Amino acid sequence: MSISNPKHKKMLDELLDMCKKHLQSVNEPLLIRAFEFSIEAHKNDLRASGEPYFTHPFEVAMIVATEFPLDDTTVISALLHDVVEDTDFNTDLIAREFSKEIADIVDGVTKISGIFRGQEITQAENYRKLLLSMVKDVRVILVKFADRLHNMRTLEFVNPEKQRRIAQETLEIYAPFANRFGLGRVKWELEDLSFKYLNNEAYEEIARKIKSNRRERENYIKKFSDPIIEKLEEYKLKYEIIGRPKHLYSIYRKMVRRNKPFEEIYDLFAIRIILDTPNIFDCYTILGIVNQIYIPVPDRFKDYISIPKNNNYQSIHTTVVGPDGKLVEVQIRTLKMNEVAEKGVAAHWRYKENKAASDKDLENWVNWIRDIFENASKDEGRKGLMESFKLNLYQDEIYVFTPKGDLKRLPINSSPVDFAFEIHSKVGFHCIGAKVNGKIVPLDSVLHSGDQVEIITSKNQHPNKSWGKFVVTHHAKAVIRKWINKEEDDFINLGKEIWDKKIKKHKLSFNQAEINKLVLNLKFDSVKQFYKAIAQDKINLDEVLLATEEKEEKKDRVPELEFDKFANIARTDIGGILVDGKDSGILYSYAKCCNPIPGDPVIGYITTGEGIKIHRKTCNNLIKISEKDSSKLVSVQWPQAESTLFVGGLSVLGEDSPGILNDLSHAIVSYQNTNIKSININTNDSTFEGNITLYVHNIEHLNRIIERIKKIKGVYSVERFQSI
**Claim to verify: residue 12 and residue 88 sit in the same structural domain:** yes
**Claim to verify: residue 150 and residue 248 sit in the same structural domain:** no
**Claim to verify: residue 173 and residue 32 sit in the same structural domain:** yes
Among 466, 491, 523, the domain-final residue is 466
Name, of 293-297, 470-474, 619-623, the range with top average pLDDT.
293-297
* CATH code of residue 445: 3.10.20.30
Q: Is 185 helix (H, G, I), strand (E, B) or coil?
A: helix
Is 86 considered catalytic here? yes
- Asked if residue 664 is part of any domain, the answer here is yes
* CATH code of residue 301: 3.30.460.10
**Claim to verify: residue 123 and residue 40 sit in the same structural domain:** yes
Do 708 and 499 form a contact (C-beta atoms < 8 A)? no
What is the per-residue pLDDT across 178-198, written as a single tens digit (0 to 9) for each? 877 777 788 889 999 999 999
Interior CA angle at 651 toward 649 and 655, to 5°?
Answer: 145
* Phi, psi dihedrals of residue 698, rounded to the nearest 5°: -165, 180
pLDDT of residue 330: 93
**Claim to verify: residue 44 and residue 174 sit in the same structural domain:** yes
Q: How far is CA 68 from CA 324, 445, 590, in A?
A: 40, 40, 92
Per the DSSP assignment, residues forming a β-bridge with 331 are 272, 317
Residue range of the domain that includes 710: 646-720
Mean pLDDT to the nearest integer, 22-34: 88
CA distance 250 to 19: 32
- Asked if residue 554 is part of any domain, the answer here is no
**Claim to verify: residue 338 and residue 298 sit in the same structural domain:** yes
- Asked if residue 1 is part of any domain, the answer here is no
- Asked if residue 471 is part of any domain, the answer here is no
pLDDT of residue 367: 45
- Asked if residue 203 is part of any domain, the answer here is no
For the cut 60, the answer to whether the pLDDT of residue 103 exceeds it is yes
Q: How far is CA 506 from CA 499, 512, 516, in A?
A: 11, 18, 19
Mean pLDDT to the nearest integer, 114-132: 58
Is 85 considered catalytic here? yes
Per the structure, the count of domains in the chain is 7
Three-state SS for 238-261 is: CEEEEEEECCHHHHHHHHHHHCCC
The active-site residue, picked from 40, 45, 59, 86, is 86
Q: Alpha helix locations (H) across 23-99?
A: 28-41, 55-67, 72-80, 83-86, 91-97
Mean pLDDT to the nearest integer, 554-565: 39
**Claim to verify: residue 377 and residue 521 sit in the same structural domain:** no
The active-site residue, picked from 85, 205, 267, 560, is 85
What is the value of pTM for the model shown? 0.51
- Over the Cα atoms of the chain, what is R_g? 42
Q: Which of 534, 640, 665, 532 is nearest to 581 (CA)?
A: 640
What is the per-residue pLDDT across 672-697, written as a single tens digit (0 to 9) for each? 888 888 888 887 777 888 888 888 88
**Claim to verify: residue 39 and residue 186 sit in the same structural domain:** yes
Q: Which of 139, 141, 144, 150 is nearest to 189 (CA)?
A: 150
**Claim to verify: residue 154 and residue 227 sit in the same structural domain:** no
Mean pLDDT for the chain?
78
Burial class (CB in 10 A: 0-12, 13-18, 19+), 19: buried
For the cut 70, the answer to whether the pLDDT of residue 378 exceeds it is no
Query: For residue 115, which amino acid is it?
Result: I
**Claim to verify: residue 101 and residue 185 sit in the same structural domain:** yes
- Asked if residue 696 is part of any domain, the answer here is yes
What is the per-residue pLDDT across 410-437, written as a single tens digit (0 to 9) for each? 888 899 999 999 888 888 888 888 888 8
* Phi, psi dihedrals of residue 430, rounded to the nearest 5°: -105, 15
Query: For residue 206, which amino acid is it?
Result: I
pLDDT of residue 643: 60
- Asked if residue 474 is part of any domain, the answer here is no
CA distance 681 to 693: 12
**Claim to verify: residue 80 and residue 174 sit in the same structural domain:** yes
Among 644, 661, 692, the domain-final residue is 644
- Which residues neighbour 320 within 8 Å (Cβ) at sequence distance 6 or greater? 290, 291, 294, 295, 296, 297, 327, 328, 330
- Asked if residue 448 is part of any domain, the answer here is yes
Q: Alpha helix locations (H) across 406-457?
A: 416-423, 425-429
Do 682 and 660 form a contact (C-beta atoms < 8 A)? no
b (16+ CB within 10 A) / e for 166-176: bbbbbbbbbbb
* CATH code of residue 662: 3.30.70.260
The helix (run of H) or strand (run of E) holding residue 138 is helix 138-153
For the cut 60, the answer to whether the pLDDT of residue 572 exceeds it is no
Among 175, 198, 221, the domain-final residue is 198
Do 598 and 646 form a contact (C-beta atoms < 8 A)? yes
Q: Is 273 helix (H, G, I), strand (E, B) or coil?
A: strand
For the cut 60, the answer to whether the pLDDT of residue 617 exceeds it is yes
CA distance 468 to 417: 10
**Claim to verify: residue 138 and residue 243 sit in the same structural domain:** no
